[in-house]
Each structure stands twice: as structure tokens, then as C-alpha cells.
Amino acid sequence: MNAPTKPIEAETLRHVRQPLPHDSGPKHVQGVAQYIDDIREPEGTLHVAIGQAPKARGRLVSLDVSAVRSMPGVVAVLTVADIPGKNDVSPAFGDDPLFVDSEISFLGQAVFAVVATSRDIARRAVKKAVMEIESETPSITVEDALARGETVLPDYAYGRGDVDAAVAGAPRRLEGRFRVGGQEHFYLEGQVAFAIPGEDGDIHVYSSTQHPTEVQHVVARVLDIPDSYVTCETRRMGGGFGGKESQATQWAVTASLAARVTGRPCKIRLDRDDDFILTGKRHDFRCDWRVGFDEEGRIQGYGVDLLARCGYSADLSAGVVDRAMFHADNAYWMPAVHIASKRLKTNTVSNTAFRGFGGPQGMLAIEHVMDQIAWATGRDPLDVRYANFYRPGENLTPYGMEVEETDTLHNLVRTLEETSRYRMRREEIAAFNASSPIMKRGIALTPVKFGISFTLTHMNQAGALVHVYQDGSVHLNHGGTEMGQGLYIKVAQVVAEEFGIAMERVRITATTTAKVPNTSPTAASSGSDLNGMAAKIAAGAIKRRMIAHAAETYGVPEDQITFRDDRVFIGNESIPFDELAKKCILARVRLSEAGHYKTPKITWDRQKGTGRPFFYFAYGAACSEVIVDTLTGENRLLRTDILHDVGRSINPAIDIGQIEGGFVQGMGWLTTEELVFGEDGHLLTHAPSTYKIPVASDVPADFRVALYPNTNREETIYRSKAVGEPPIMLANSVFCALADAIHSLDPSRPVPLNAPATPEAILRACEALRGRPMG
């Protein structure tokens, strides 16, 4: 393995860098970790189900719910008329109604809600409504939206130089149209919220959300009460992946409105099929690209139009498509470049955040273009990638941010090339393919460079609340939410480290807007960076006060006081941590602190399309080998080697879990996970029976994952790097390996493969290369 870019200094840490298990692990395995649907319901709790629009586009002429109301067990029917405040659950743009007023925008859209004594009754009752609708032909596809010219937000573009001239003047030119599919989150715990009404109109809502603050604000907005009347609490989610960033809100608001109207606790838990139909997904894109390059495959000009299918409303599409644009270069220098985007409006559910937030789509397009260049020049696809990597002097991104850490990716990829035996295996595969007419193998090694920070600058802040009690136990709270990614244990490690105490002393508590206010969503891979730092700041402030008190009491200089092994060492003597805590309380020293952190250095001028939107980049690379049955398109991933840069890991076990899980989720996105909408706007793949995420046997039997020894050049929490999203894009190697296998059928032709590479898509590409296009 190559030497890391910087020497790593020795450090003595007790908890940080340790591969501690997830704090809820023992509870998970016993079934005692409490999710919202597991909370013991107070007597009289009611259950809510959603009445859905049966058409994708049109006008609601009349709604007759009399049969719904008369069903035994139905307590209330909620419509737009029951909303005291604004009929708006959107995160920003005011275009997501809680209930349809008149305009119907997608099939399944919430028109009304039934509140009943049981979930079963509520679900049966919604079917009894009678709706009269004047329907119109819906826009379902990118092409439908282009034809109508409908968008949810204005077009946006940036770049540098004259791309058309650069492409026209290049020795080689290619252009094409590449489609990238969407993805359903399929968090195992579906959307759920439970609202309990309090006095004076207070609402306490338990929500499976990545963004408790937004839930709080939107509940208040819809109920027309101050934010301070609403508390949103989230102990854990059964998975989020972005699907509960903005789109958990509607259900929390529905439960809260039901609680307000009935005065009773109200719960809503979407059925899985309804969850598929009612909540947004990863955006699918059509990428129209053109590239000019030399015989070495070096890009001279790259232009891409990223046409995103946003669904019926803006939701988070501003940022999602921006991030697709920010990653349209991936790791490659482009002398002349133009990146344009359209946020197209279709009559489908509003697409939303999904791990990577648009980045994966923009990045896959350029990886596809790298392969196209390789096919055109006959060079090895990895060599084409090397030829285009950012390097000193050629390190300015299309959005004007300098890539300062150019050596990391280069060294990382070189290392992986060696450890995966990429070159030798490519030869072995060529020999195999030469003697195998039906089964074809393919290999690809692809890099990832992913920008870390919210691209909306103000969101890069976090708060934490730490209390030390007289017995030396510590209460930890912060604005980040736990969705399985291990944020809570990582932050607890930071706090335990700060105080030099055992992990058991740190009590992790549920995220709530009542303890830490005005937070950002747990998203953009930022959870540990932001909340870890805020918690360290809070704990550090308490520690400094404890040190000051000890210094004063014992007459010892502050720099001779240290916290370790659950004791405080004061000069030549030591006392237990809890003893110092007690002394502080008696001396009226405050042992509670609210920490706040904001990410430094970042700036972004969207108008000018320039700045430093990211604090730093996270890097990784993967090498995947596949086998394809060219008679059926069936395929299997045989081996994957991953080398990934998490800086200096706070918890390597948790980080490896994110890398492996992200890779497999990305593999699903690019292979078996296919969203199919009917012409009328019905989502036809609305359940796990028809929408296929990876199962255990899809994971490569030979799966080698390693952390790249690196540090973060920026001052992040313990010099770690964010890890939530980047690994998704390691799966680009699987897609490119599948294309490589197909390419062996006729190396003189490009492979017309779009994502997802389902068996059908693969067979279609195989037949095209055989010169007998399929149907």
C-alpha cells in the first residue's frame, strides 16, 4: 500500500477510532429497540389513513365522503377545509399541499384523511369516498414534460470556456443520450408519525424523520400555532436514506392535524404500497452529453444537459439537481465545460433526497462518457480515467472550486489497481471471453470524488446539549438523527473521549426540537462532522469550567489537569470524575452547555456559479468484476474491491458498515431496482414483490473493503471524513463492468446500456451489439 499523503501523528485515544458496536445493537437483536409504531399507545388513540387521488392530473370537482363518515369506527374525515393554517407541507417552495384543494398533480396524491378507531377501519373507510374528477392527460416522462415545457424551478447552468468550439476543435468527438433511473428508498420502517395533543393547543409529535425541526415548523404552519407549541421527537428511524428528509413531514402534519381536530392521540403508519405511491424517490435523469477529446482520451470539452424528472413539485429538487451538476465532473479536469440542468415537472410523486442527492446521477453520466471515450479510442477505460484526473495546475472544478487534495485520489486508485490485480484480471477476462461464446465477463475500476457540505451554506450548522450530573453520568443530545448510520455512537464516542470517561456514562437521548432547536436535517453526509463538533464544543466548555474549578481548588495550573480513565488528574493526585462533578455543583459551576458549530471556509454564489461550496472532498474507488449471460441478460457480481477514504475514522466498524451498505444500495440502484410508471401515472412497481432491492446472494462472494489511510487536511472532528453518501457511487464500477462484459461481444461498437442495467436492459444491449435489435 502506498504511503498516505501525510504522516499520521501518534495519539492516545480511548474511544475515538475504536470499532464500537452500534449503541442500539443489543436492543435491535432482541426486538426491544423502540420505533414509533412500538410506542405503547394511550387509551383512545386513533389511526389515520390517506384517501388518494385516482387520477394523475386534473381537477377535483367534488368529493363525497358521506359513506366514509358513516362507517362504524370512523371518528373524523379531514379535508382541506379542516386546515387552520396554510395548506402547505413543502420544505421551501410552497407547492406541496397537505390535501388536494382543486388541482390534482399525481396519482395517489392525498385528497383527504380518515381518522378511525383502528388502522384497519381507517384503511377500509378511505375506499368508500366518491370523487368526481375532470382529468387531463398527465406528463409522466422527461419527454412529456419537455413537450409541455413544464418545470418546477428555473433552468440553471454554469461552465467555463467555449465548449462548442472545444468539442468541434477536438481530434475526436462523441455525443449521446444516457438515461439514469430513479430509486425507491425502501427504508424497512415505512413512514410513521404519532401525535399527542397537549394543553393550549400544544402538539408533541413522534416522527420518523431526518428533519425534526422542519416537522416542527410545518406542523406549526399548518395548524397556525407558534413553533414553540410544537415538539418533534425522533429516537430512531428504521432507515431513512434521504426519504425522510422532507417527506416525513406530511405524515407528521397529518397526524398532528388529526390530533388537533379530535383532541385525541393520532397515529399514521403508511402501508408499504402506499409508501411507495405517496413518497418521492431518487430523481431519474436523461443526460444529453457531448465530448471532445484527443487520441489519449483526454477531454478537451464536455457539455451535458441534465434533465431531471422532479415529479409534481420542487421539494428538494433545487439542491438535488445542483448536486448532480457539482458531480458532473467527478474526478476529471475539463478545460472547457458547460453543465446545464432542467428541473422538469411531471405528474408523478415529487422526487426527493436520496443518499448522494443527485451526485450519483451526475457522476454516473461522466463515468459512462469515460467508457465511451475508451471504446472510441481503444484504450483501457482505467487509463482514460487516469488521463483525465485532476492534477496540480489542472484542478479547478467547473464551479470554480479548487481541488486542493489532488494526490489522494491518484494514489488511492493506483493502490487499488495493484491490490485488485486489475491489469492481470483484465487479461484473464479477455482470455475467458475469447473461449466463452455465451457467458461474458467484465471488469471496471471507477473513482469517486464527493463534495462534503450542504450546498445551501446556512444549513452547515449544528447544535448539541450536554449535561454532566452529580453522579458523573452525562446526558447527550444533539440535532442529528439516528437512522442506523451510527451517528449517535460516534458522537457519544467524542463526548466520552472529551471527558475521559467510560462510554457507559454517556446517555444517548432522543433527538428533540425542545432540547436543540433550529437544526438542519441529518443529511448530506454531514451528521458526524456537524453534530460531533457541536457536542465536542459543548463538552469542551463544561470540561474547561471543571478544570478551572479544580485548578482554583487544588492550586494546580490548568495545563496540569487532565481527564482520563474516569478520573481527573490534578497535578500529582487524582479524583474520580463524579467527585469533581459534585464539587463543581457545590461551587455553583454550571455543568450544562449548548454547543454550536458552523462549518468554516465555505462560500457559494449560485448566481455567478462560483465559489467553494464544499469544505472538502471524500474519495474512494471500487473495482468490480461481473459475469453476464448474453442469452438472457442475467448477471452476477463476482468480486468487488473497495478502497475508501474516510480521513481518520472515528469508528472504523461503523464506517465500513456505511461503505458496504452504500455500495450494495448503489448496486441495487444500477441493476435490479427499476421503477415503472404506467402511461396513466400508476406506479406499477409499488411493492417489494415487483421492486427488487438486493438480497444476500447479490452481494459479491468475494468482497474486499479497506479504509485508505488518510487524514482530513481540514479541521474536522478528529480529522475524519464524512461517509454516509460517497460509497453509493462506488457501485458505478458494477454498471461499468456490466457494460465492459457486453462490450466484448463487439469491441468496435459502443454499448447502448442505460441504468438500471436490468437483465432486460443488458440483453437489449447485447442484441444491439450482435446487430439484431430486440423489439
Partner 1 sequence: MARDAIRFWRNGQPIEVSGFHPRTTLLDYLRLQERRVGTKEGCAEGDCGACTVALGRVWDGRVRYEPVNACILLLGQIDGAELVTVEDLAASGELHPVQSAMVAHHGSQCGFCTPGIVMSLFTLYHEDPQPLSRERINDALAGNLCRCTGYRPIVDAALDACASSPQDAFAQAGEATARALAELVDRQDVFIGCEARFFAAPASEASLSSLYAQHPDATLVAGCTDVGLWITKGMAELEKIIWLGRVAGLDRIEDGEDALTIGATVTHAEAFRRLGAIDPDLGELMRRFGSAQVRASGTVGGNIANGSPIGDLAPALIALGSTLELRQGESMRVLPLEDFFIAYRKQDRLPGEFVRRVAVPKLKGREAFRAYKVSKRFDEDISAVMGAFKFTLEGRRILEARIAFGGMAGIPKRASETEAALAGISLDDPSAWGDAMAAIARDYQPLDDHRASAAYRSTVARNLVLKALSETASGETRATRIIGLREALEAAE
Question: Does 123 participate in binding partner 1 (rule CB under 8 A)?
Answer: yes
Question: Does 697 participate in binding partner 1 (rule CB under 8 A)?
Answer: yes
Question: Does 704 participate in binding partner 1 (rule CB under 8 A)?
Answer: no
| CA 329 – CA 398 distance, rounded (Å) | 7
Choose the stretch contacting partner 1; rule: CB under 8 A; options: 37-45, 310-318, 330-338, 409-417: 37-45
Min dist CB 626 to partner 1, Å, is 10
Question: Does 239 participate in binding partner 1 (rule CB under 8 A)?
Answer: yes
Question: Does 327 participate in binding partner 1 (rule CB under 8 A)?
Answer: no
Q: Is 725 a catalytic residue?
A: yes
Nearer to partner 1, 392 or 775 (CB): 775
763 CB contacts (<8 Å, ≥6 apart)?
630, 631, 632, 633, 774
Which of 685, 713, 749, 752 binds partner 1 (CB under 8 A)? It is: 685
Nearer to partner 1, 184 or 498 (CB): 184
Q: Dihedral (C-alpha) 252, 258, 260, 262: value to the nearest 10 degrees?
A: -150
Which candidate, 281, 270, 346, 314, places its Cα nearest to that of 51? 270
**Hey, which residues between 434 and 463 contact partner 1 (CB under 8 A)?**
436-439
Nearer to partner 1, 162 or 634 (CB): 634
Bridge partner list, 302: 291, 337
| CA 241 – CA 435 distance, rounded (Å) | 43
Question: Does 483 participate in binding partner 1 (rule CB under 8 A)?
Answer: yes
**Hey, which residues between 256 and 315 contact partner 1 (CB under 8 A)?**
271-273
Nearer to partner 1, 186 or 499 (CB): 186
**Hey, which residues between 38 and 57 contact partner 1 (CB under 8 A)?**
38, 40
Min dist CB 716 to partner 1, Å, is 22
Which candidate, 550, 536, 469, places its Cα nearest to that of 505? 469
The dihedral sign for the CA sequence 753, 756, 757, 760? negative
Which of 181, 190, 297, 750 binds partner 1 (CB under 8 A)? It is: 190
Min dist CB 667 to partner 1, Å, is 9
Min dist CB 140 to partner 1, Å, is 14
Nearer to partner 1, 599 or 672 (CB): 672
**Which residue's entry shows cell 461499468?**
736
Min dist CB 45 to partner 1, Å, is 12
Choose the stretch contacting partner 1; rule: CB under 8 A; options: 14-22, 154-162, 509-517, 586-594: 14-22
Which of 294, 629, 680, 746 binds partner 1 (CB under 8 A)? It is: 629
| CA 89 – CA 723 distance, rounded (Å) | 30
DSSP calls for 231-295: EEEES--S--TTTTTSTTHHHHHHHHHHHHHHSS-EEEE--HHHHHHHS--BPEEEEEEEEEE-T
Which of 189, 329, 417, 593 binds partner 1 (CB under 8 A)? It is: 189
Which candidate, 620, 701, 695, places its Cα nearest to that of 656? 620
Phi, psi angle pair for 443, to nearest 5°: -140, 150
Question: Does 31 participate in binding partner 1 (rule CB under 8 A)?
Answer: yes
Q: What is the number of residues in the chain? A: 775
- The catalytic residue among 405, 497, 660, 725 is 725
Which of 2, 8, 11, 26 binds partner 1 (CB under 8 A)? It is: 26
> Binding residues for partner 1, how many (CB under 8 A)?
88
**Hey, which residues between 640 and 679 contact partner 1 (CB under 8 A)?**
653-654, 656-657, 660-665, 672, 674, 676
Phi, psi angle pair for 583, to nearest 5°: -60, -40
**Hey, which residues between 556 and 585 contact partner 1 (CB under 8 A)?**
none
In this structure, the number of other CB atoms found within 10 A of the CB of residue 697 comes to 7
The dihedral sign for the CA sequence 312, 318, 323, 324? positive
Which candidate, 428, 450, 435, 416, places its Cα nearest to that of 526? 450
In a 10 Å sphere around its CB, with 0-12 CB exposed, 13-18 middle and 19+ buried, how is residue 26 labelled? Answer: exposed
* Chain-centroid distance, C-alpha 262: 36
Residues acting as catalytic residues: 725
